[in-house]
């Protein structure tokens, strides 16, 4: 038995994909954890931006919402929300938009809006928030989410955020000049888009994960790279940084006064 | 010219059945006390605008006061779904509501367009996004210089906007600090603005570039300490994250929701908010 969970492997693998030079627009949840682990390990100077307008924030605990006071207290500066989306995102300053998803397809198209029909939904989800434009305006998009048949589907029910559409040059045909989804990190594997078809292709399996387990958790026929690597397991340092961060966060969110 | 009045008077004067209203505050400074006053007064048939409906609109929707909601993220931030809004959308309880859904970028631009006196907002947005198929208020314009097609949505122009802020001086100039969200735009785009504040002071003590709303942009100011709870007021008290987590359980059940609203909203006054934040104040 490994001494770490698949969730921890996911967060740590995602954190490794970020560098000191990145200006990262951070989605809440799994992306936020990964971005802050990167900042607390190998990328201390990474710029983290949350859609509430906090630029260059260095939270001591993970925020519960995108607008927790912790983000503003530790930011280089905080701007108004219209400026956030107009100048900083639409203006092209974001190198990586880091998103989660409820439903995802093989081309990195994301649904966080509804399960079922839009007008008569089976489940009404929160919706897109900042994601539709994060997906189109960030220089590239990273996605992190756990694999499951419910989440990794052949067809998403709603195009909240456009990934590679039907694949190939679909983004360019819609006038997008940015790269779109360029990396997918799950609890089981690392996926990258095929250079031509843009279909997400498995390039690395986390330690101990089999192709049978992959098939059981993905709703489409999986493509594998010619050479599939094994993701290096979490180091002791990575694990301790992540666990300390989670412990601080849990205590802060439960206790009065944050 | 801002007048200093009670919250009850401000709400009854500025919010009418059928009003188009924005209660803004981007996670920070959400005007909960003002929304609770509107609920107590039973003012219904409302069209509510808010980027993130949050608990306030979940409560107003669940109490049957809402006809339509215009929004861009209908979640309990960091916790999950808004269960009263879901119940209305999925099951029509307590009544069916119309929704007009946007992205954050579009809503933020639409507030700015309203504040700027423009008829619509323009952005490089909704590329490949499904919302433009289901929302007829998302259209496009062509750049006359480059030919680029851009998204267009109507400017936001509410009858009334409610915001919460740190403080007002005795003339009624208001200081907003921290995550300022779309508060300035929400005030300037509305026909009338009502501001609840933590305190009224002699001097705002603001630096030259601070976000200050001059008194002549505001209709009414009400002193309501703690008025953002369970949201927060930067410099005064922290976000009550535990209350946001607890809401997920309260709102999951119709009867429990009604009972909670009866105890915590209908039978209360704005004065309760000061008590609610006592334990969340810095150094408490």
Q: Give me the tens of pLDDT residue by residue for chain B, a chain 284 residues long.
A: 799 999 999 999 999 999 999 999 999 999 999 999 999 999 999 999 999 999 999 999 999 999 999 999 999 988 889 999 999 999 999 999 999 999 999 999 999 999 999 999 999 999 999 999 999 999 999 999 999 999 999 999 999 999 999 999 999 999 999 999 999 999 999 999 999 999 999 999 999 999 999 999 999 999 999 999 999 999 999 999 999 999 999 999 999 999 999 999 999 999 999 999 999 997 66
Cβ pair B191, B201 in contact under 8 A: no
B128 close contact with A: CB closer than 8 A: yes
Which residue, chain included where needed, has tokens 């906090």? A54
Tell which residue, B127, B55, B22, B134, has the closest CA to residue A131: B127
Q: Name the band, by pLDDT with cuts 50, 70 and 90, for residue A258.
A: very low
C-alpha B149/C-alpha B171 separation (Å) is: 46
Domain spans of chain B, in order of start: 3-66+157-280
Is A205 a domain residue? yes
Cβ pair A25, A97 in contact under 8 A: yes
Which residue, chain included where needed, has tokens 């989804």? A181
The pLDDT > 70 percentage for chain A reads: 98
Query: What is the tally of structural domains in chain A?
Result: 1
Contact yes or no for B123 and A131 at CB 8 A = no
Tell which residue, A185, A183, A163, A182, has the closest CA to residue A174: A163
Residues of chain A contacting residue B242, judged by C-beta atoms under 8 Å apart = 253-256
Q: Which of A8, A51, A70, A238 is catalytic?
A: A51
- Residue B272 burial (10 A CB sphere; 0-12, 13-18, 19+): middle
B73 close contact with A: CB closer than 8 A: yes
Contact yes or no for B181 and A52 at CB 8 A = yes
Is A207 a domain residue? yes
B246 close contact with A: CB closer than 8 A: no
Contact yes or no for A81 and B104 at CB 8 A = yes
pLDDT in tens, A101-153: 999 999 999 999 999 999 999 999 999 999 999 999 999 999 999 999 999 99
ipTM over 0.85: yes
Task: Please identify among residues 145-204 of chain B the ones whose CB lies closer than 8 Å to any CB of chain A.
Answer: 148-149, 178-182, 184-185
Is A245 a domain residue? yes
Cβ pair A8, A242 in contact under 8 A: yes
Q: Any catalytic annotation for residue A166? A: no
Is A145 a domain residue? yes
Kindly identify which residue of chain A lies nearest to residue B91, measuring between CA atoms.
A120
Q: Which of A90, A158, A170 sits opposite B123 (nearest CB)?
A: A90
Strand partners, B192: B160
| Residue A193: CB atoms within 10 Å | 22
**Domain ranges, residue A236:** 6-254
Contact yes or no for B123 and A86 at CB 8 A = yes
B74 close contact with A: CB closer than 8 A: yes
To the nearest whole Å, the CA of B96 is away from the closest chain A CA by: 11
pLDDT in tens, A46-66: 999 999 999 999 999 998 888
Contact yes or no for A82 and B79 at CB 8 A = no
3-class SS letters over chain A = CCCCCHHHHHHHHHHHCCCCCCEEEECCCHHHHHHHHHHHCCCCCCEEEECCCEECCCCCCCCCCCCCHHHHHCCCEECCHHHHHHHHHHCCCCCEEEECCCEECCCCCEECCEEECCCCEEEECCCCCCHHHHHHHCCEEEEECCCCCCCECCCCCCCCECCCCCCCCHHHHCCCCCCCEEEEECCCEEEEECCCCCCEEEEEECCCCCHHHHHHHCCCCCEEEEEEEECCCCCHHHHHHHHHHHHHHHHHHHCCCC
Residues of chain A contacting residue B30, judged by C-beta atoms under 8 Å apart = none
Q: Can you tell me the mean pLDDT for A193-209?
A: 98
- Residue B204 burial (10 A CB sphere; 0-12, 13-18, 19+): middle
C-alpha B284/C-alpha B281 separation (Å) is: 5
Q: Name the band, by pLDDT with cuts 50, 70 and 90, for residue A167.
A: very high
pLDDT in tens, A235-245: 999 999 999 99
Is A104 a domain residue? yes
Q: Which helix (H) or strand (E) holds B60?
A: helix B54-62
C-alpha B97/C-alpha B86 separation (Å) is: 10
Neighbouring residues of B228: CB distance < 8 A, sequence distance ≥ 6: B25, B28, B29, B30, B31, B32, B33, B164
Residue-level pLDDT at A244: 96
Residues of chain A contacting residue B130, judged by C-beta atoms under 8 Å apart = 113, 118, 158-160
Cβ pair A145, A31 in contact under 8 A: no
Indicate whether A255 pLDDT > 70: no
Is A1 a domain residue? no
Mutation target vs A (from B27, B49, B86, B156; most A CBs, 10 A cutoff):
B27
Three-state DSSP class for residue B189:
helix
| Residue A42: CB atoms within 10 Å | 15
Q: Name the band, by pLDDT with cuts 50, 70 and 90, for residue A257.
A: very low
Residue-level pLDDT at A29: 75
Contact yes or no for B241 and A253 at CB 8 A = yes
Whether residue A186 has a cis bond before it, omega within 30° of 0? no
Residues of chain B contacting residue A97, judged by C-beta atoms under 8 Å apart = none
Contact yes or no for B51 and A81 at CB 8 A = yes
Which CATH topology does B3-66+157-280 take? Glutaconate Coenzyme A-transferase (3.40.1080)
B280 close contact with A: CB closer than 8 A: yes
Cβ pair A201, A195 in contact under 8 A: no
Q: Give the domain CATH number at A10.
A: 3.40.1080.10
Mutation target vs B (from A31, A82, A83, A249; most B CBs, 10 A cutoff):
A82
Neighbouring residues of B186: CB distance < 8 A, sequence distance ≥ 6: B22, B24, B111, B156, B158, B161, B163, B193
Three-state DSSP class for residue B198:
strand
pLDDT in tens, A65-99: 888 888 999 999 999 999 999 999 999 999 999 99
Contact yes or no for A65 and B244 at CB 8 A = yes
C-alpha A202/C-alpha A204 separation (Å) is: 6
Cβ pair A168, A64 in contact under 8 A: no
Is A116 a domain residue? yes
Indicate whether A2 pLDDT > 80: no
A251 close contact with B: CB closer than 8 A: no
């Amino acid at each position: 038995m490994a001494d770490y969970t698949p969730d921890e492997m996911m967060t740590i693998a995602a954190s490794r994909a970020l560098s000191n030079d990145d200006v990262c627009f951070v989605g809440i949840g799994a992306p936020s954890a990964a971005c802050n682990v990167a900042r607390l390990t190998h990328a201390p100077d990474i710029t983290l931006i949350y859609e509430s307008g906090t630029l260059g924030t260095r939270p001591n605990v993970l925020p519960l919402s995108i607008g927790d006071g912790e983000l503003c207290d530790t930011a280089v500066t905080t701007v108004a929300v219209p400026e956030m989306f107009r100048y900083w995102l639409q203006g092209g300053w974001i190198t990586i938009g880091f998103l989660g998803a409820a439903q995802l397809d093989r081309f990195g198209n994301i649904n966080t809006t509804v399960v079922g029909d839009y007008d008569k939904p089976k489940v009404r989800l929160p919706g897109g928030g900042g994601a539709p434009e994060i997906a189109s305006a960030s220089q590239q998009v990273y996605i992190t989410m756990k694999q499951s048949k419910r989440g990794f589907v052949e067809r998403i029910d709603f195009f909240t955020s456009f990934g590679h559409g039907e694949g190939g040059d679909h983004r360019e045909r819609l006038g997008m000049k940015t790269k779109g989804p360029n990396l997918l990190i799950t609890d089981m594997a690392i996926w990258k888009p095929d250079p031509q078809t843009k279909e997400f292709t498995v390039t690395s399996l986390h330690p101990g994960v089999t192709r049978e387990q992959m098939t059981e958790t993905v709703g489409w026929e999986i493509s594998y790279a010619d050479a599939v690597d094994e993701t290096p397991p979490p180091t002791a340092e990575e694990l301790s940084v992540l666990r300390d961060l989670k412990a601080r966060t849990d205590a802060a969110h439960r206790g009065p006064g944050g | 010219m801002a007048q200093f009045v009670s919250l009850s008077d401000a709400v009854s004067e500025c919010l009418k059945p059928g009003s188009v209203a924005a209660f803004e505050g981007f996670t920070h400074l959400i005007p909960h006390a003002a929304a609770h006053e509107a609920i107590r007064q039973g003012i219904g048939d409302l069209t509510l605008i808010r980027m993130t409906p949050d608990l306030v609109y979940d409560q107003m929707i669940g109490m049957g006061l809402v006809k339509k909601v215009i929004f861009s993220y209908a979640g309990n931030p960091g916790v999950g779904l808004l269960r009263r809004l879901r119940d209305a959308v999925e099951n029509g309880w307590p009544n069916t509501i119309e929704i007009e859904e946007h992205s954050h970028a579009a809503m933020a631009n639409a507030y700015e367009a309203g504040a700027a006196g423009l008829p619509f907002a323009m952005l490089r947005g909704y590329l490949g996004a499904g919302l433009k198929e289901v929302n007829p208020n998302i259209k496009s314009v062509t750049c006359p210089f480059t030919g680029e097609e851009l998204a267009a949505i109507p400017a936001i122009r509410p009858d009334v906007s409610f915001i919460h802020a740190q403080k007002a001086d005795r003339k009624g100039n208001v200081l907003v600090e921290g995550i300022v969200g779309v508060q300035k735009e929400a005030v300037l785009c509305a026909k009338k603005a009502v501001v609840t504040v933590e305190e009224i002071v002699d001097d705002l003590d603001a630096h030259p570039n601070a976000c200050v709303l001059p008194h002549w942009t505001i209709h009414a100011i009400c002193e309501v300490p703690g008025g953002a709870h369970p949201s927060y007021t930067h410099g005064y008290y922290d976000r009550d994250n535990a209350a946001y987590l607890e809401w997920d359980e309260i709102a999951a059940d119709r009867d429990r929701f009604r009972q909670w609203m009866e105890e915590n909203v209908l039978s209360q006054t704005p004065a309760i908010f000061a008590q609610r934040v006592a334990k969340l104040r810095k150094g408490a």
